[in-house]
């Protein structure tokens, strides 16, 4: 860029992992970045929240954004095995291995820890906390735009001028609603009870000794137990925590507010515990009972979009492609979106913004669309729901070939590295 040229400005709506990943890559590409986030303060690490799995490409990209790449390894645990079991109901709850992949090479992280790791590497002044995106208008030549936002603490309306608007505001994206107001989320047919058990102060308790005996490779294995029209996920997180998810088929619940999670009453939790006793091994049920503040996540995705770019507006992360969690894709897609967008902007320069955004869309749209649809298929498979052209999956009678469909590595583009960022990855 010529020294006399003005540095281009990007406004990112959303300060979650997708948004702060974009901040890293756009700053590296030479852009000024500001992040608009309606939460009033940065999230802090806690024992509640959600776990996630980072694939090898995401690990490499995150390390390239950190001043000390080893901090990612210090704040995550290795997941080298992807294993699926069949579980039987009744008095004797037996488990048998359906499929096992020992070359998984993911890492487990707590969402808040990963967010904090990325957030702390960014200049604090780029964040506008407690600001709600309202609308935007384009200049006559479409070269820039004016974004309006509400300061939640004072109700003041402010305006921000930017050359690029990045919608990283999640599956209920207000930016997307501007263009497609009737394009809704699609309910999957099931919800998930979720929780994180912090056992840092009682790691020798009967519950922890028992769960380690029942699941002896905790600390390196991503476990799936499949029952009758239900399944659970279990894996260990850093700092002596266990992440668990229990998927249950049910009609779509009525949500309150702008969220896909539900707070639960004590009576709902007690009923969940009783149901778990009927379905799962007692060691897992005890983990559920000792978890503080479990919550319900209503599982949605969306049919793939036909575009991710409108003039100077681009979508990333769950705003672009909300997906069910069965392929461990949501965070990984967000990180890769950010990396590709940054590389496209760097390659084409600010004078060729439309070419940069067109290339971003051409690289990411086919990949994310297929991954959303495959994650949807995997969810229906593991939940025993209707499948196209075949009977619902039954883990108790499934053939070995059928069981291979359960593996994470079957997702399209599982090991794909876009040419744009291949050089970046190899330099780490």
Mind giving me the DSSP string for 206-251?
HHHHHHHHHSTTTTTEEEEEE-SSEEEEEEEETTTEEEEEEEEE-P
Rounded CA-CA distance 113/135 in Å is 31
Is the whole-model pTM more than 0.85?
A: yes
Rounded CA-CA distance 149/339 in Å is 27
Rounded CA-CA distance 167/356 in Å is 16
SS3 39: coil
Rounded CA-CA distance 258/365 in Å is 26
Q: Give the tokens for residue 106.
A: 């993911």
pLDDT at residue 48 in the model: 46
Q: Give the tokens for residue 351.
A: 């004078």
pLDDT at residue 3 in the model: 54
Q: Give the tokens for residue 142.
A: 């479409």
Q: Give the tokens for residue 45.
A: 């690490």
pLDDT at residue 47 in the model: 42
CA 427 → CA 29, 60, 423, distances in Å?
17, 9, 6
**Is the CB of residue 34 less than 8 Å from the CB of residue 9?**
yes
DSSP state of 352: G
Q: Is the dihedral of CA 390, 391, 395, 399 positive or negative?
A: negative
Q: Give the tokens for residue 302.
A: 């969306």
pLDDT at residue 114 in the model: 95
HSE of 230 in the Cβ direction (CA atoms, 13 Å)?
A: 20
How does DSSP assign 47-68, residue by residue? SSS-EEEE-HHHHHHHHHHSSS
Q: Give the tokens for residue 76.
A: 């995550």
Strand partners, 231: 226, 247
pLDDT at residue 428 in the model: 36
Rounded CA-CA distance 62/70 in Å is 10
Q: Give the tokens for residue 175.
A: 């930016």
pLDDT at residue 247 in the model: 97
pLDDT < 70: residue spans in the chain: 1-5, 44-49, 89-93, 257-258, 423-428
Rounded CA-CA distance 28/177 in Å is 29
Which residues have C-beta within 8 Å of that of residue 30, sequence separation ≥ 6?
1, 7, 8, 345, 346, 350
Domains by residue range for the chain, with CATH: 9-49+114-184+305-391 (3.50.50.60), 71-109+186-301 (3.30.9.60)
Rounded CA-CA distance 354/352 in Å is 6
Which residues have C-beta within 8 Å of that of residue 352, sequence separation ≥ 6?
none
**How many DSSP H helices and E strands does the chain contain?**
12, 20
DSSP state of 369: H
């Amino acid at each position: 860029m010529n020294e006399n040229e003005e540095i281009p400005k990007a406004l990112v709506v959303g300060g979650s992992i997708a948004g702060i990943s974009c901040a890293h890559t756009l700053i590296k590409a030479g852009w000024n970045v500001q992040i608009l986030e309606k939460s009033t303060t940065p999230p802090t690490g806690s024992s509640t929240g959600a776990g996630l799995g980072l694939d090898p490409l995401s690990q490499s990209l995150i390390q390239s954004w950190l001043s000390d790449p080893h901090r990612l390894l210090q704040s995550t645990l290795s997941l080298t095995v992807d294993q699926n079991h069949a579980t039987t109901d009744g008095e004797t709850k037996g488990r048998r291995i359906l499929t096992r992949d020992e070359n998984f090479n993911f890492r487990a992280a707590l969402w808040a820890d990963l967010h904090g790791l990325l957030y702390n590497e960014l200049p604090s002044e780029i964040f506008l906390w407690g600001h709600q995106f309202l609308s935007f208008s384009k200049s006559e030549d479409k070269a820039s735009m004016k974004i309006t936002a509400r300061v939640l603490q004072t109700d003041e309306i402010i305006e921000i001028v930017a050359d690029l608007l990045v919608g990283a505001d999640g599956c209920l994206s207000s930016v997307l609603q501007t263009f497609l107001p009737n394009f809704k989320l699609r309910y999957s047919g099931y919800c998930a009870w979720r929780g994180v058990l912090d056992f840092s102060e009682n790691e020798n308790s009967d519950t922890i000794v028992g769960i380690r005996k029942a699941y002896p490779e905790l600390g390196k294995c991503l476990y799936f137990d499949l029952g009758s029209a239900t399944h659970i996920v279990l894996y260990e997180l850093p700092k002596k925590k266990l992440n668990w998810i229990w998927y249950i088929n049910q009609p779509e619940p009525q949500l309150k507010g702008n969220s896909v999670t539900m707070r639960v009453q004590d009576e709902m939790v007690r009923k969940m515990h009783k149901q778990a006793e009927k379905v799962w091994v007692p060691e897992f049920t005890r983990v559920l009972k000792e978890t503080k503040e479990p919550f319900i996540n209503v599982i949605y995705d969306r049919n793939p979009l036909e575009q991710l770019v409108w003039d100077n507006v681009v979508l990333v992360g769950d705003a672009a492609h909300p997906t069910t969690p069965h392929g461990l894709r949501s965070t990984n897609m967000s990180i890769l979106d950010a990396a590709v967008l940054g590389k496209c902007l760097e390659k084409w320069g600010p004078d060729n913004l439309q070419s940069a955004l067109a290339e971003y869309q051409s690289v990411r749209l086919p990949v994310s669309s297929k991954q959303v649809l495959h994650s949807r298929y995997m969810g229906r498979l593991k939940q025993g729901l209707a499948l196209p052209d075949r009977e619902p999956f039954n883990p108790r009678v499934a053939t070995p070939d059928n069981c291979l469909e359960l593996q994470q590595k079957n997702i399209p583009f599982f090991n794909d590295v876009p040419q744009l960022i291949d050089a970046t990855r190899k330099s780490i």
